[in-house]
Amino acid sequence: MKLATQDKPFFPESLKEKLEYIKSIGFEGFEIDGKLLLERFDEVQRASEATGVPIIAACGGYEGWIGDFDEAKRKNGLSEIKDILRKLGKLGGQGIVVPAAWGMFSKRLPPMVPPRSDEEDRRILIESLSQLNEVAIETGTYVYLEPLNRYEDHMINTLEVASSLIEEGNFSNVKIIADFYHMNIEEPIIAESLKREKKYLGHVHIADSHRYQPGHGHLDFISGFSALQEIGYNGYMTFECRVLGEDERKLYTQSIRYIKECIEKSRAK
């Protein structure tokens, strides 16, 4: 398993320095914001080549969700995601992380009842994923479908629901991204869920139980990583967290060390 990171406010601004910095603190890949990839593609490509740090995936940076209630926004989102996939393909990147929607509706917060039925949600998601699956095939990339916790999305909260959509659409280039923060809220036992849904697992996000740097909260990473070892997962795990504390650079570096120790311990288990 390899470690990657998303961008952080305390990383250098220039892309080359950013990638050099993340390499120096122990990461092997960068998960880029989709907008940054589209707007500064040449610079991203040059920086990746010069530093040898791969752009492994994209996350966010497009307007409109694949399950958007607003049809015009959904279409816009799909068009931007396709552009991001085309650029990622040129860089040899693996794929883009997409939730059904993020922050659009929660069935656990008022008004509790969404404006669309569950059946219609599924129909729309399948339609969006069919379009993206085609472009992912053309570009040699993947769409990483991300279950979010119940407060951030109402359509896909568990790995099981994500798997069922992939099965239903028979999508060759849609996989699941398992995010430890969301799994900590939605999966009864993270290790068991990972083992059960291994067939479609393609990518992983890590943060601790409170969405801050791993090692600072109470999540049991070792049992989750042992499950990943057991199912033969050898992809990337991307840090997707905020950093709590004053010296963010120091704390982030300590967190990488902590996660590497957890990986070692999970191998020994």
Tokens of 90: 């040129």
Q: How far is CA 151 from the centre of its chain?
A: 17
Q: How many CB atoms lie within 10 A of CB 187?
A: 22
Considering only the stretches 29-37, 43-51, 151-159, 174-182, report the one whose residues sit in contact with Mn ion under the rule CB under 5 A: 174-182
Q: Residue 100, SS3?
A: coil
Calpha distance 45→42 (Å, rounded) = 5
Q: Is position 183 an interface residue for ligand LER (rule: CB under 6 A)?
A: no
Please tell me whether residue 10 binds ligand LER under the rule CB under 6 A.
no
The answer to whether residue 179 forms part of the interface with ligand LER (CB under 6 A) is yes
Query: Could you tell me the two tokens for 196?
Result: 């059960």
216 binds Mn ion (CB under 5 A): no
Residue 152 is a binding residue for ligand LER (CB under 6 A): yes
Closest among 103, 108, 104 to 116, alpha carbons compared: 104
Comparing CB distances to ligand LER, the nearer of 121 and 179 is 179
- For residue 25, the SS3 value is coil
Q: Is 205 in the site for Mn ion (CB under 5 A)?
A: yes
Contacts with ligand LER by CB under 6 A: the residue count is 10
Among 31, 121, 153, 179, contact with Mn ion (rule: CB under 5 A): 179
Q: From the list 91, 100, 135, 148, which residue makes contact with ligand LER (rule: CB under 6 A)?
A: 148
Residue 97 binds to ligand LER (criterion: CB under 6 A): yes
Q: At 239, is the secondary structure helix, strand, or coil?
A: strand
Nearer to Mn ion, 7 or 20 (CB): 7
- Residue showing the smallest CB distance to ligand LER in the complex: 99
- 99: contact with ligand LER by CB under 6 A: yes
Is residue 239 within 8 A of residue 206, CB to CB? The reply is: yes
For residue 97, what is the DSSP state? E
Contacts with ligand LER in 102-131 (CB under 6 A)? 102
71 is catalytic: no
Which residues have a Cβ under 8 Å from the Cβ of 162 and sit 6 or more positions away? Answer: 145, 146, 147, 156, 176, 197, 200
Least separation in angstroms between CB 46 and ligand LER? 27
What is the distance, to the nearest Å, from the Cα of residue 254 to the centroid of all Cα atoms in its chain? Answer: 22
CB of 52 to Mn ion, least distance (A): 26
Which of positions 19-78 make contact with ligand LER (CB under 6 A)? 59
Q: How many helices (H) and strands (E) does the chain have?
A: 10, 8
The dihedral over CA atoms of 75, 125, 142, 214, expressed in degrees to the nearest 10, equals: 110
Site mask for Mn ion (CB under 5 A), range 126-165, x = bound: ----------------------------------------
Task: Answer yes or no: 119 catalytic.
Answer: no
What are the residue numbers of the active site? 146, 240
Which residues contact ligand LER (rule: CB under 6 A)?
Answer: 59, 97, 99, 102, 146, 148, 152, 179, 205, 240
